[in-house]
Amino acid sequence: MNPFLEISPSVNEALQNGQPIVALESTIISHGMPYPDNVATALRVEQTVRENGAVPATIAILNGKLKAGLSEAEIEHLGKTGRGVAKVSRRDIPFLLSSGKPGATTVASTMLIAEMAGIRIFATGGIGGVHRGASETMDISADLQELARTSVAVVCAGAKSILDLGLTLEYLETHGVSVIGYQTDEFPAFYTRRSGFGVDYRLDSPAEIAKVLTIKWLAGLAGGVVIANPIPAEHEPLAARIQAATEQALSEMQRLGISGKEVSPFLLGKIKELTGGESLRANIELVLNNARLAARVAVASMNSKFT
Ligand code: PSU
Ligand code: MN
């Protein structure tokens, strides 16, 4: 086993007993939401996974270890320290292991650690993608490359319209990543159920999704899958309001010259500020909704046998 991997007792027990497990990321805790909502949400997400029959494994880097499964105290620490915790993608991992400093894992690094631990299903809010203007900036989230190479299915509410969703879907296609729409034909845009872009395949039940995932990996097709799960209609904010906030956040970002890994956290914070917290409430609801679906897919995967 990887000498840097440290699996928590509850996750280890679940692995030994062949119980369903759902991986969860920590950038959403330290960089995606303000304290104390971030900690409360992370704990509610874990509880939601349990209520739906699976064991949660929140992932982060702490004390020079790749941690699969955190204690409440560790989640509280990541949430309270917030932006003081490094945002860690694949390239950053050896440096955090070397320094011993805490790291909040993005979708990319959470996938990587989940795979090492033997966890195949992961729930988050939204994935990173190809940023608008990427033909100039080359800003393409490492999440997309990770989906191309790492065999973990990511349940998300699509990707934010701060991104270029058309190019994001093109990039996934090029890299052989299937995009499944759960009970939808359209790729959702995080706060909104619709984006105008289609998904590759629509599946309407956790069992059908579990079957495809099991077959994909049994057939030797390594790599990730995107499971796009639209925000429940009752929690969808007014699209026009989110749209206006997104445009304003993008223009402020340009004016301030923000680039690199600061881009996503800046835009998330700005949109929350501009919508008076409405975006945060929606964000919390969609993450809970994704945790629910991921747990149900993980449970169904235990019963999928096609050899
Ligand atoms: N999108 C969201 N909320 C988030 C993120 C993305 O709606 O919290 C986080 C995730 O951790 C994702 C990361 O992996 O931002 C992408 O950052 P970047 O664009 O720098 O790759
Ligand atoms: Mn980026």
List pLDDT tens digits, range 42-86: 999 999 999 999 999 999 999 999 999 999 999 999 999 999 999
Measured CA to CA in angstroms, residue 251 lies from 179, 244, 255, 266 at distances of 30, 11, 6, 12
Active site residue 272: no
pTM to 2 decimals?
0.97
* 60 Cβ inside 6 Å of ligand 1: no
Q: Which residues contact 289 (CB under 8 A, 6 or more apart)?
A: 157, 229, 231, 232, 235
Ligand 1 mean position to 154 CA, how many Å?
A: 13
Mutate to test the pocket of ligand 1, among 140, 264, 266, 268 (most ligand atoms within 8 A of CB): 264
Q: How many degrees, rounded to 5, is the angle at CA 302 between CA 297 and CA 303? A: 100
Whether 230 is in the pocket of ligand 1, judged by its Cβ within 6 Å, is: no
Q: Please state which CATH number belongs to domain 5-303.
A: 3.40.1790.10
36 burial (CB, 10 Å; 0-12 / 13-18 / 19+) is: exposed
C-alpha pair distances (Å), 150 with each of 2, 40, 153, 280:
16, 29, 9, 30
Q: Is the pLDDT of residue 215 over 70?
A: yes
Give the number of the atom of ligand 1 that is nearest the alpha carbon of residue 31. 8
Nearest CA to ligand 1 atom 2: 126
Confirm if 181 and 199 have CB atoms less than 8 A apart: yes
- Give me ligand 1 centre to Cα 283, in Å: 13
Contact (CB, 8 A) for 45 and 283:
no
pLDDT of residue 306: 64
Summarize the confidence of residues 107-111 as an average pLDDT. Answer: 98
Report the candidate in 260, 254, 280 with the shortest Cα–Cα distance to residue 91. 260
Question: Which residue among the candidates 25, 76, 146, 236 is catalytic per the annotation?
Answer: 25
164: pLDDT strictly greater than 80: yes
Contact between 20 and 55 under an 8 Å Cβ cutoff? The reply is: yes
Active-site position among 67, 76, 87, 160: 160
Is the CB of 107 inside a 6 Å radius of any atom of ligand 1? Answer: yes
Mean pLDDT, range 17-28, rounded to an integer: 98
Give dist(CA 25, CA 23) in Å, integer: 7
Instruction: State in Å: Cα 306 to ligand 1 middle.
Output: 34
> What pLDDT digit, counting tens, does each position of 225-265 carry?
999 999 999 999 988 999 999 999 999 999 999 999 999 99
Of the residues 106, 167, 266, which should be mutated to test ligand 1's pocket, given the most ligand atoms within 8 Å of the CB? 106
Of the chain, the percentage scoring pLDDT greater than 90 comes to 95
Ion ligand 2: residues, CB < 5 A: 139
Find where tokens 């971030």 sit.
Answer: 38
* Total Cβ atoms within 10 A of residue 4: 15
CA–CA distance, 269 with 228 (Å, rounded to integer) = 23
Q: Measured between alpha carbons, how far is 71 from 77 in angstroms, rounded to an integer?
A: 10
Cβ of residue 290 lying under 6 Å from some atom of ligand 1: no
Query: Which of 293, 267, 300 minimizes the C-alpha distance to 191?
Result: 267
67 is annotated as an active-site residue: no
Inter-residue contact 183 to 213 (CB < 8 Å): no
With vertex at residue 78, the alpha carbon angle to CA 53 and CA 30, rounded to the nearest 5 degrees, is 90
Looking up tokens 């900690």 gives 39
88 alpha carbon, distance to own chain's centre: 13
CB of 28 shorter than 6 A to ligand 1: yes
For ligand 1, whether the C-beta of 160 sits within 6 Å is yes
Q: Which residues contact 280 (CB under 8 A, 6 or more apart)?
A: 33, 34, 37, 272
Element (H, E) at 91: none
Question: Per-residue pLDDT tens for 111-158?
Answer: 999 999 999 999 999 999 999 999 999 999 999 999 999 999 999 999
DSSP state of 183: S
**Distance from Cα 303 to the centre of ligand 1, integer Å:** 32
Residue 126 pLDDT: 97
Query: Strand locations in 15-72, DSSP E?
Result: 21-24, 55-62, 65-68
Judged against a pLDDT cut of 60, whether residue 307 lies above it is answered with no
Categorize the per-residue pLDDT at 161 as very low, low, confident or very high, splitting at 50, 70 and 90: confident
